[in-house]
Amino acid sequence: MALTIKQFSLIVAFSGVLSFIFGVVAENKKPAAGTPVPGIGVIMCKYPSDPTVALGYLSLAFLVVSTVFGLWSLFYPYKGKSVPQGALFRSTTFVVFFNIALFTAGLAAALLLWPTLTEQFHLLHNVHRTPKADCPTAKTGLFGGGAFVSLDSALFWLVALMLADNAREDYFEEVEKDPKGQVTADEYDRHAVA
């Protein structure tokens, strides 16, 4: 089954919103700190049962889905017609939004992965040999920040998809003008500049 632009955009948007929701819920469910339980020469940290780590990984997973489908949607051959990448990257606006979408996806992944791994590390390594150890959790605000950047990333992928669709339409209009079905690079450059 061939996917359409509308289907790709729905997948990207839905995945981005789910990543945002899971990230915000992870931020809200994260405990402020654990409870230190003194032992003989050690401090054991007892953390309340919470779904922060699972929510962090779910948020990251949906970010990856949104990014993969966002990237795939730009170069997918709709209706069996593919467009050379050079035709897409001639548009400065497309290049800008493409790079912003890539950057925000990477930033969101870092902001979601860092506290998720930190929280998991604290839960697994909860015995401290220092007598005055506190029971830390992941830094507050990173899940929420990652959630918002994840949503931004999905929105930038959608804008890049709209710009790619415009570039695709322009390319096929130029192809139809040439009786041989091909456009020379000079003709395409003249049309892109105008």
Question: Rounded to two decimals, what is the model's pTM?
Answer: 0.84
pLDDT by residue for the chain (194 residues), tens only, comes to: 578 889 999 999 999 999 999 999 999 998 888 888 887 888 888 888 889 999 999 999 999 999 999 999 998 888 888 888 888 888 899 999 999 999 999 999 999 999 999 999 988 888 877 767 788 888 889 999 999 999 999 999 999 999 999 888 888 877 777 655 555 555 555 655 55
For residue 97, the cross-strand partners are none
Task: For residue 110, give its domain range.
Answer: 5-193
> How buried is residue 134: exposed, middle or buried, by Cβ count under 10 Å (0-12/13-18/19+)?
exposed
Number of domains in the chain: 1
DSSP string, 86-148: HHHTT-HHHHHHHHHHHHHHHHHHHHHHHHHHHHHHHHH--EESSTT-----SPTTHHHHHHH
Reported as type and span, the H/E element at residue 15 is: helix 5-29
